């Protein structure tokens, strides 16, 4: 097969790929708000079927359905491709230049919620299959799609879904949602992710908000919550929960060598988000060791009383805070949750309620010397013309550990994403560059072709 012919097809029909992505991105699918999830699942099934892929919804109670797609290829080898069809909330809405669910082209870029994370990945993969079939009449290898509907809220039902349906996703290897290239253009192969525990802390005092003149005699839920939060982390950023760091696995030598080989490009992010410096002026290798290897305790949001226009002098009767803990091997969400409860109790905050946001996700890492990891790095270098950067892990979280528990093959995060480091995922004005979409499609045609040849 002549891959240049496939690449030419992609270039000549790129407008169709854009239209495919726009169709997916027009449908709201915000899992945090249960907005449009069922409709998006149906759209995914119909879209897969239109591309000649058998597809079905897999249910588990009231969870968003998991979608199984299968396209049979010439080789008996099978590659599993994971994507998720849910997206982040669009707020703050007033910061969008155009409507988030009306994706628009502007200056060589496509703007809209989900065009990068993660509908862009799905569109690129689907169009790669279309291009291969259009040019050759068949796929080089069998592909199984796994499309999840609640990745953006921590995949609370993924373990149950995999326990029931995991046998339907057997393959020789798997690729999760793709990772963008580094800021210098080099492709990234990511071998792991941090774990995640999300919680809500709730403090209550009076049965309702009261007039603030009563502050000398009525306790404030807002102050109570503030004092409790202040016990969790020191000004030097160290988490103060007893035993929080006990299970942190030290870096292995080959992992440190991989981190040291990464380019010092952290200034791109710093400049994009308007920072003069990172915490503690960290940079270089120490920046990467901290970003990828340090667990966190982060306050995502706090709500209490009145924060609207004008003045309203109230004393809050209830206050809430959302926290997330990013975990590293070998920390476990359930263990950290128990330690958080003991910490609050021992500091006199037995009244603070903890509401776990699901069961959490454990961290996971694939060994650097894994054969499929080397294959993905070699394939990336072959397409992009630059050596692949191998990241031992990522700072973010996806359900890799859950999938690895139920699927007996290597799964990692390969390059080939249409997004880039400045795509503003999870933020207003999320976008991709159209040139990156073309590259993502072409990369996947090469990946499937080399995979069929048994290159690992």
Here the tokens at position 433 are 């560059």
Do 183 and 200 reside in the same domain of the chain?
Answer: no
What is the pLDDT, as a whole number, of residue 178?
79
- Interatomic CA distance for residues 188 and 180, integer angstroms: 7
Backbone torsions φ then ψ of 82, nearest 5 degrees: -95, 135
Contact 64, 154 (CB under 8 A): no
Q: Do 203 and 179 have their domain in common? A: no
In a domain, 167, yes or no: yes
Domain shared by 29 and 70, yes or no = yes
**128 is a domain residue:** yes
- At residue 198, what are phi and psi to the nearest 5 degrees? -110, 135
Domain final position from 356, 378, 399: 356
Tell me the per-residue pLDDT of 195-213, one tens digit each, with 9 for 90 and over.
999 999 999 999 999 999 9
Do strands 66-71 and 141-148 pair parallel, antiparallel, or not at all (unpaired)? antiparallel
pLDDT score for 148: 98
| Whether 221 and 329 share a structural domain | yes
Please check whether residue 443 is in contact with residue 386, taking contact to mean a CB–CB distance below 8 angstroms.
no
DSSP notation for 150-216: -GGGT-TTHHHHHHHHGGGG--SEEE-S--PPPTTS--EEE-EE-EEEEEEEEEE-SSS-EEGGGTT
Please report whether residue 201 resides in a domain: yes
One domain, residues 183 and 309: no
Q: Quick check: helix, strand or coil at residue 305?
A: coil
Domain end residue (candidates: 326, 356, 386): 356
Tell me the pairing of strands 195-204 and 104-106.
unpaired
Contact assessment for residue 245 and residue 351, using Cβ atoms and an 8 Å cutoff: no
Q: What's the half-sphere exposure (Cβ side, CA atoms, 13 Å) at 217? A: 4
264 domain residue, yes or no: no
Q: Domain range holding 372?
A: 3-193+363-452
Q: Is residue 141 part of a domain?
A: yes
Residues 397 and 301 in one domain: no
Secondary structure (DSSP) of 374-387: HHHHHHHHHHHSSP
Interval 75-96: pLDDT, tens: 999 999 999 999 999 999 999 9
Q: Is residue 289 part of a domain?
A: no
CA distances from 19 to 82, 110, 129, 211 (A): 21, 11, 16, 55
Which among 123, 169, 205, 184 has a CA at the least distance from the CA of 404?
169
Q: What is the pLDDT of residue 359?
A: 85
- Looking at the fold, whether 67 and 117 belong to one and the same domain comes out as yes
Q: According to the model, what pLDDT value does residue 1 have?
A: 56
308 and 160 in a single domain? The answer is no
State the total domains in the chain.
Answer: 2
Q: In Å, how far from its chain's centre is CA 163?
A: 22
> How far is Cα 13 from Cα 28, in angstroms, rounded to an integer?
26
Q: What's residue 400's pLDDT?
A: 94
The verdict on 97 and 123 lying in the same domain is yes
Q: Which two tokens stand for residue 47?
A: 């879209």
Assigned domain for 36 exists: yes
Angle, helices 119-136 vs 14-26, to 10°: value is 140
Last residue of a domain, one of 309, 335, 356: 356
**Do 330 and 347 share a domain, yes or no?**
yes
Q: Which helix (H) or strand (E) holds 141?
A: strand 141-148
User: Based on the domain organization, do 373 and 315 belong to the same domain?
Assistant: no
At 208, which CATH number?
A: 3.30.70.360
| Tokens matching residue 8 | 């030419």
In order of 6, 383, 435, the CA distances from 15 in angstroms are 15, 22, 12
Which residues lie below 8 Å from residue 45, measured CB to CB, with a gap of 6+? 55, 56, 57, 67
Written as six digits, the tokens of 112 are: 């809209």
Q: Which pair of tokens denotes residue 115?
A: 């065009």
- Find the CATH number of the domain harbouring 148: 3.40.630.10
Which pLDDT does position 423 carry in this prediction?
Answer: 94
Q: Please check whether residue 149 is in contact with residue 66, taking contact to mean a CB–CB distance below 8 angstroms.
A: yes
Residues 12 and 75 grouped into a single domain: yes
- pLDDT lower than 70: segments of the chain: 1
∠ at Cα 67 (62, 72), nearest 5°?
160
Q: What angle do CA 359, 255, 176 make, to 5 degrees?
A: 45
**So what's the pLDDT on residue 213?**
96
Residue 394 placed within a domain: yes
DSSP 237-283: S-B-STTTTTTPPPPPHHHHHHHHTS---THHHHHHTT-SS-GGG--
């Amino acid at each position: 097969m002549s891959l240049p012919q496939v690449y030419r097809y992609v270039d000549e029909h790129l407008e169709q790929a854009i239209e495919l992505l726009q169709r997916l991105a027009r449908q709201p699918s915000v899992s945090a708000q249960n907005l449009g999830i069922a409709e998006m699942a149906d759209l995914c099934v119909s879209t897969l079927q239109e591309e000649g892929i058998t597809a079905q919804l897999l249910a588990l109670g009231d969870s968003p359905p998991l979608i199984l797609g299968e396209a049979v290829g010439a080789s008996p080898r099978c590659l599993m491709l994971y994507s998720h069809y849910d997206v982040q909330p669009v707020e703050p809405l007033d910061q969008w230049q155009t409507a988030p669910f009306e994706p628009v082209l502007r200056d060589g870029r496509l703007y809209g919620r989900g065009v990068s994370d993660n509908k862009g990945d799905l569109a690129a993969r689907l169009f790669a299959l279309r291009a291969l079939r259009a040019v050759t009449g068949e796929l080089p290898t069998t592909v199984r799609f796994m499309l999840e509907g609640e990745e953006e809220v921590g995949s609370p039902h993924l373990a149950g879904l995999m326990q029931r349906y995991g046998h339907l996703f057997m393959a020789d290897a798997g690729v999760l949602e793709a990772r963008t290239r580094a800021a210098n253009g080099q492709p990234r192969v990511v071998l792991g992710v941090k774990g995640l525990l999300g919680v809500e802390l709730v403090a209550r005092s009076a049965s309702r908000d009261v007039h603030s003149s009563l502050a000398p005699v009525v306790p404030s839920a807002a102050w109570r919550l503030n004092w409790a939060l202040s016990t969790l982390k020191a000004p030097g950023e160290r988490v103060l929960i007893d035993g929080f760091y006990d299970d942190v696995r030290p870096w292995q030598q080959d992992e440190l060598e991989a981190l040291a080989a990464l380019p010092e490009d952290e200034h791109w992010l710093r400049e994009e988000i308007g920072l003069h410096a990172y915490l503690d002026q960290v940079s270089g290798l120490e920046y990467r060791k901290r970003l990828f290897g340090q667990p966190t305790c982060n306050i995502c949001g706090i709500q209490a009383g009145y924060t609207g226009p004008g003045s309203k002098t109230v004393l809050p009767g209830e206050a809430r805070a959302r926290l997330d803990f990013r975990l590293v091997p070998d920390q476990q969400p359930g263990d950290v949750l128990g330690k958080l409860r003991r910490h609050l109790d021992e500091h006199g905050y037995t009244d603070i309620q903890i509401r776990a946001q699901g069961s959490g996700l454990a961290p996971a890492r694939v060994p650097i010397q894994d054969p499929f990891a080397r294959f993905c790095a070699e394939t990336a270098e072959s397409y992009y013309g630059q050596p692949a950067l191998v990241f031992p892990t990522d700072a973010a979280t996806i359900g890799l550990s859950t999938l690895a528990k139920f699927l007996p093959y290597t799964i990692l995060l390969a390059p080939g994403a249409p997004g880039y480091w400045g795509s503003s995922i999870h933020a207003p004005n999320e976008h991709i560059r159209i040139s990156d979409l073309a590259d993502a499609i072409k990369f996947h045609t090469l990946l499937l072709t080399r995979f069929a040849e048994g290159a690992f």
